[in-house]
């Protein structure tokens, strides 16, 4: 009928599929929850019917995965590339791996490219960063020419390489528009009808009556069909035409909120000690300080932060990529690797620090280490457990490898190079940046019955 899993939740994917497919219960029902001595995860995967949909994002069934293996796919990465199973939210990847292992009969080859930053360049991220710095490569096309096999460009590698170059060189990278996704080219989120959404920055979720009036005026002037308060304590204007984006940004006269990028997003806060009788620390001021320092930083995947003024956790700091909780007397607990989306994970306690300034320092080190080490699109809720909390504490808190000074220095350079992308409204990067290539067609009206 249902299940609540606490602690090890590796069976969640299998149980979900078993419930959806109404499979027969095994004789030993404990095997649904535990890997018993006489059978592993593959046994459960083998019990699923071939028509069971494994990847809901891309509509891939178990039969599709098995057929791919039988057709000659020799590694998990190859199966994912060919079937697209696991390329959506990623929550099914564990079950996909079980099915692939089962279908291969234990003969699955190790994927040599699993540790490469991009498939077309046989280097880990650290090796690739070193090669880019050594050769002074500042454009995606230069990286392909120098490091890819025969200099051949790979369309799927352009976005991660562009992100890496921005991380390494900041504003001094060579911006090739064709290497960027549409969201990054126009600094707004594209919607399914071809319009865009704009989210102005509200530091720490704080706004003013003047800002609210401007947002309302812009919504009226450009006939914005939907104005939405977001979960990150921002106000989203949805349904804006591409050619109107620069004018909207100019009328708002507010910085970009980065809701579209693989970057540092928002710092969510509660009202803290000034306006809450339970508040132990000024969470709003610390949240604003974090956002002002790290705004817009390029990261391997989106990065969400929060500050809570007490352990009641009203700003949900315990399930953010980087969360801060006041425990009184300007002492703050720092949690990392939390998640509250397709994956649910409580953050790990990285450290307890004695001042707001110490929070900013440790935040900078954590974010910079994540920028330099994590795989493309790897959220912190995967990266933190992959490296291990003890390893992160050794590197970032105890400085056992002497890395802190370098992380601080590189983060300072990155912060110094911040530029508000909405300033491109006066100097477009290309003639087509804010010109619609196709006429926008209204969505068909479906009669209500």
Instruction: Provide the pLDDT for residue 441.
Output: 54
User: What letters, b where the CB count within 10 A reaches 16 and e where it falls short, cover 133-172?
Assistant: eeeebbbbbbbbeebbeeeebeeebbbbbbbbbbbbbbee
Q: What values do phi and psi take at 447, rounded to 5?
A: -65, 140
DSSP string, 338-362: -EESSSEEPPEEEEEESSHHHHHHH
Confidence of residue 448 (pLDDT cuts 50, 70, 90): low
The pLDDT tens digits for 58-93 are 999 999 999 999 998 878 888 988 999 988 777 788
pLDDT above 60: residue 384: yes
Burial class (CB in 10 A: 0-12, 13-18, 19+), 430: exposed
Cα 311 from Cα 385, distance rounded (Å): 23
With contact defined as beta carbons under 8 Å apart, do 290 and 306 qualify? no
Give the containing element (helix H, strand E) for 365.
Answer: helix 356-373
Cα 157 from Cα 123, distance rounded (Å): 13
Query: 337 to each of 42, 45, 422, 448, how far by Cα in Å?
Result: 28, 29, 30, 44
CA angle, 141 then 145 then 149, to 5°: 125
Cα 310 from Cα 272, distance rounded (Å): 8
Instruction: Provide the pLDDT for residue 438.
Output: 57
User: What letters, b where the CB count within 10 A reaches 16 and e where it falls short, cover 72-104?
Assistant: ebebbbbbbbbbebbbbebbbbbbbbbbbbbbb
pLDDT above 60: residue 212: yes
Question: What CATH number was assigned to the domain covering residues 183-256+426-441?
Answer: 3.90.480.10
Across residues 152-172, what is the average pLDDT?
A: 94
Instruction: Provide the pLDDT for residue 237.
Output: 97
With contact defined as beta carbons under 8 Å apart, do 204 and 284 qualify? yes
The topology under which CATH files domain 260-419 is Sulfite Reductase Hemoprotein; domain 1 (3.30.413)
Instruction: Provide the pLDDT for residue 325.
Output: 98
Across residues 93-109, what is the average pLDDT?
A: 81
pLDDT above 50: residue 41: no
With contact defined as beta carbons under 8 Å apart, do 303 and 264 qualify? yes
- What token pair was written down for 131? 């090669």
pLDDT above 60: residue 440: no
What is the residue extent of each domain of the chain?
Answer: 12-112, 116-180, 183-256+426-441, 260-419
The pLDDT tens digits for 245-268 are 999 999 999 999 999 999 999 999
- Strands (E) across 292-392 are located at 303-308, 322-328, 331-336, 339-340, 344-345, 348-353
pLDDT above 50: residue 43: no
Superfamily of domain 12-112: BFD-like [2Fe-2S]-binding domain (1.10.10.1100)
Going by C-beta distance under 8 Å and a sequence separation of 6 or more, which residues neighbour residue 223? none
The pLDDT tens digits for 323-333 are 999 999 999 99
Confidence of residue 442 (pLDDT cuts 50, 70, 90): low
- What token pair was written down for 433? 């940046």
Mean pLDDT, the chain, integer:
90
pLDDT above 70: residue 445: no
The pLDDT tens digits for 109-134 are 777 778 899 989 999 999 999 999 99
Instruction: Provide the pLDDT for residue 93.
Output: 81
Across residues 335-359, what is the average pLDDT?
A: 94
The pLDDT tens digits for 285-320 are 999 999 999 999 999 999 999 999 999 999 999 999
Instruction: Provide the pLDDT for residue 33.
Output: 76
Instruction: Provide the pLDDT for residue 39.
Output: 43
pLDDT above 50: residue 234: yes
Beta partners for residue 61, in sequence order: 53
Cα 245 from Cα 305, distance rounded (Å): 27
Proportion of the chain above pLDDT 70, given as a percent: 93
Give the containing element (helix H, strand E) for 226.
Answer: strand 226-229
Across residues 26-40, what is the average pLDDT?
A: 67
Instruction: Provide the pLDDT for residue 437.
Output: 64
Q: What values do phi and psi take at 256, rounded to 5?
A: -65, 140
């Amino acid at each position: 009928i249902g299940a609540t899993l606490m602690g090890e939740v590796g069976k969640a994917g299998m149980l979900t599929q078993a419930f959806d497919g109404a499979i027969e219960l095994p004789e030993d029902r404990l095997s649904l929850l535990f890997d018993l001595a006489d059978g592993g995860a593959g046994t459960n995967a083998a019990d699923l019917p071939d028509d069971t949909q494994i990847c809901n994002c891309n509509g891939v069934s178990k039969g599709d995965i098995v057929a791919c293996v039988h057709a000659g796919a020799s590694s998990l990465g190859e199966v994912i590339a060919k079937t697209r199973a696991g390329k959506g939210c990623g929550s099914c990847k564990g079950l996909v791996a079980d099915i692939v292992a089962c279908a291969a009969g234990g003969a699955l080859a190790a994927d040599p490219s699993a540790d490469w930053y991009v498939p077309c360049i046989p280097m880990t991220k650290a090796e690739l960063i070193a090669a880019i710095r050594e050769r002074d490569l500042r454009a995606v096309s230069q990286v392909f020419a120098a490091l890819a096999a025969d200099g051949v460009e790979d369309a799927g590698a352009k976005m991660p390489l562009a992100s890496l170059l921005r991380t390494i060189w900041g504003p001094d990278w060579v911006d090739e528009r064709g290497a960027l996704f549409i969201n990054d080219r126009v600094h707004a989120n594209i919607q399914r009808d071809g319009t865009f959404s704009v989210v102005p920055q509200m530091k720490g979720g704080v706004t003013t009556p003047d800002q609210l009036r401007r947002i309302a005026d812009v919504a009226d002037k450009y006939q914005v069909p939907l104005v939405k308060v977001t979960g990150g304590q921002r106000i989203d204007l949805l349904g804006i035409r591409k050619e109107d984006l620069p004018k909207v940004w100019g009328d708002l006269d507010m910085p970009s909120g980065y809701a579209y990028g693989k970057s540092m997003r928002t710092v969510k806060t509660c009202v803290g000690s000034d306006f809450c009788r339970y508040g132990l620390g000024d969470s709003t001021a610390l949240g604003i300080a974090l956002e002002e320092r790290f705004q817009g930083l390029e990261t391997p995947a989106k990065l969400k932060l929060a500050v809570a003024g007490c352990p009641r956790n009203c700003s949900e700091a315990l399930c953010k990529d980087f969360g801060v909780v006041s425990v009184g007397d300007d002492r703050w607990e720092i949690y990392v690797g939390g998640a509250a989306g397709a994956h649910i994970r409580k953050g790990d306690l990285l450290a307890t620090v004695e001042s707001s300034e110490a929070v900013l320092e440790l935040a900078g080190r954590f974010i910079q280490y994540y920028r330099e080490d994590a795989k493309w699109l790897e959220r912190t809720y995967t990266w933190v457990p992959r490296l291990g909390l003890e390893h992160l504490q050794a590197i970032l808190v105890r400085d056992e490898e002497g890395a802190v000074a370098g992380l601080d220095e590189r983060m300072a350079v990155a912060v110094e190079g911040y530029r508000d992308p909405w300033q491109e409204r006066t100097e477009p990067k290309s003639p087509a940046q804010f010109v619609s290539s196709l006429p926008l067609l209204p969505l068909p009206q479906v009669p209500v019955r």
